[in-house]
Amino acid sequence: MQIYMVGGAVRDRLLGLPVQDRDWVVVGATPEEMVARGFVPVGRDFPVFLHPDTHEEYALARTERKSGRGYRGFVVHASPDVTLQEDLARRDLTINSIAACADWTGAAGQFDSKCELIDPYGGQRDLRARVLRHVTAAFAEDPVRILRVARFAARFHDFAIAPETLALMRQMVAAGEADHLVPERVWQELARGLMEAHPARMFEVLRQCGALAVVLPELDRLWGVPQTASHHPEIDTGVHVMLVLQMAVRLQAPLPVRWACLMHDLGKGTTPADVLPRHLGHEQRSVKLLKAVGQRLRVPGECTELAEVVAREHGNIHRSAGLNAAALLRLLERCDALRKPERFADVLLACECDARGRQGLQDVAYPPRPRLLAALATAQAVNTGAVAQAAQRDGARGEAIGKAIARARTQALQEQTADGSYSLQ
């Protein structure tokens, strides 16, 4: 039995990057032997085991044969006679098909002299050349690899995609393979790609191969849709959304905020051509579309809920300087800010990304964010218990108590404005 470190751990060590997860492949062993050594079986579709001490994953060397469409359409063969080279051949990219002995402790290209890298498909060459290249034609059998290449392009933004790999991805989309992607895997890859340093490149690659029109047609149709130049110097809606997404990276936004940035203008893709470049009512259309996307891809609720608030209210938040105290309170209530202040802070962060995600406006300040956070703090500071008790003493019940609390909060906002702590103008 021989054990090798494979995949991203080897790749990242060669690049001098921190190694997050280590994957291992075992050659020459049976499942029974693994269990006898204390490994815990966890694989459902093929033999994967957890190390009894480190709990890292060890997979038996395997080959795969295409048996149907999509991600699950494979017959897996794992046995002691499968070689390491055969196992590496089924991997997606050459930079991920490099292996090293289990005792390899090298970092940043420095290796233990007792152990040589096993690199039958030129992964080290492509690392040096900064190229993402598929290993073999077997790449075309798994549509998830289209998403993985796009995600790797977002992570390794200075790597080019080999022309033959991009051509193969286009062929896969044309053959209908992307139609069979499992929703959970689509979301998994999109979510990971959104958290990379250059997520816009992921969508650029998906557009180049035609996959974006399959997995996210609501987003794909935004390119080529014009907006008014006075508000959007970049004009193109798709370009704007990518600028917003990259601003989210700059402001170190969490995943729900990045998803909201991606979804906030979907409705502009359905604006009738005869009213362009105006987009009246696009907010509600965006909400409807993003909720459908969330259901289709099984997006976590916190991401869809935040995106819904941002899509519906971002215009009102941008224009909030012109609101009086009563209207400001209504905005806070529509955003459920008083009950969910942390989420409201994320809403405002997404709105800042939207405002600054425009050509030439990346470094312009966004006053609504601190202003509305201050307004929320003022509304929260109202002693609602005391207000409710006073209203009850005056005979108020039910809805009337709620109105009394709203009046107290409105009064507090008016007073805060009057003393100059923040301005609504």
Amino acid at 76: V
pLDDT at position 222 is 98
Res. 73 pLDDT band, cuts 50 70 90? very low
Name the residue with higher pLDDT: 110 or 172. 172
Mean pLDDT of 13-39: 88
Mean pLDDT of 290-313: 98
Q: Whole-angstrom Cα distance, residue 348 to residue 353? A: 9
Beta bridge partners of residue 59, listed in sequence order: 25, 48
Enter the pTM of the model.
0.89
pLDDT at position 402 is 86
Mean pLDDT of 12-40: 88
pLDDT at position 77 is 60
Beta bridge partners of residue 131, listed in sequence order: 160
Instruction: Map residue 62 onto helix, strand or coil.
Output: strand
Beta bridge partners of residue 107, listed in sequence order: 110
State both tokens at 51.
């190390």
Work out the mean pLDDT of the chain and round it to a whole number: 90
Closest CA to 117 of 149, 92, 86, 84: 84
pLDDT at position 63 is 74
CB 265 within 8 A of CB 286: yes
Name the residue with higher pLDDT: 251 or 87. 251
pLDDT at position 399 is 83
pLDDT at position 110 is 45
pLDDT at position 75 is 55
What are all long-range contacts of 172-175, with beta carbons under 8 Å and residues at least 24 apart?
A: 172/140, 172/143, 172/146, 172/209, 173/146, 173/209, 173/210, 173/211, 173/214, 174/210
Name the residue with higher pLDDT: 424 or 140. 140
Mean pLDDT of 309-333: 95
Beta bridge partners of residue 76, listed in sequence order: 64
Name the residue with higher pLDDT: 255 or 394. 255
* CA-angle at 170, arms to 167 and 172, nearest 5°: 110
Residue 36 DSSP label: H
Among 80-94, 139-153, 197-211, where is mean pLDDT lowest?
80-94
Q: Whole-angstrom Cα distance, residue 400 to residue 386? A: 15
pLDDT at position 54 is 85
State both tokens at 156.
């390794």
**Bridging pattern class, strands 160-161 and 131-132:** parallel
Q: Is the pLDDT of residue 422 over 60?
A: no
Closest CA to 187 of 75, 263, 134, 248: 263
Residue 107 DSSP label: B
| Residue for token pair 């035609």 | 210
